[in-house]
Structure 1
Amino acid sequence: MESFESIQNKLIRAISESSDREKIFSLWEFWNGKNSNLSVAEPNSFYNSEKPMTDEEVKEYFKEEESILPDYVTKMIERGMDDVKNGRVIDNEEVEKYFEEWLKD
């Protein structure tokens, strides 16, 4: 078994080199008799600190909301869908061609 002085020196070194505030505060509370149970846990991560969601909270979180668009937006979308269905769309090359012709004018 290690000597008392050796354990004391290791403890002092561990405290002075530690940057874990929770462990140091827990040790301080234990030393001063505020907490007789010296159980030092690792700090909670972001995810461990979150409480789990209930089934109702999950349903509410992922509930889809219905968006009502103005009539003119709905008509624009419908016209665009009709154009796609009927092949009245132009690709990027055609757009560039029209743009080049427009620049020449």
Structure 2
Amino acid sequence: MESFESIQNKLIRAISKSSDREKIFSLWEFWNGKNSNSSVAEPNSFYNSERPMTDEEVEKYFKEEEIVLPDHVIKMIELGMDDVKNGRVYTEEEMDKMDEEWLK
């Protein structure tokens, strides 16, 4: 992880080199707490190009991926489901009692 001083120096250089008035004013307002409140809201955009995603972009971005589990994992899940189905499980109280005995 980068050191605090390194990040601080990079930030100072970026501000010094920037000619983007909107960014500088937004940073100044953020730093001075002018935009801070306890309500939940969308963050102020630093970029004019920021826009809401289209429905197609949302679908593409949040597309569900097919997850393929290895055979040994599927077998373990099936064994666990069989244990539940046949009552080979412990109650929370039984587990707490086992934990207490184990910790003695």
Which TM-score band (shorter chain)?
A: 0.3 to 0.5
Q: RCO (CA 8 Å, sep 6+): is it higher in 1 or 2? A: 2
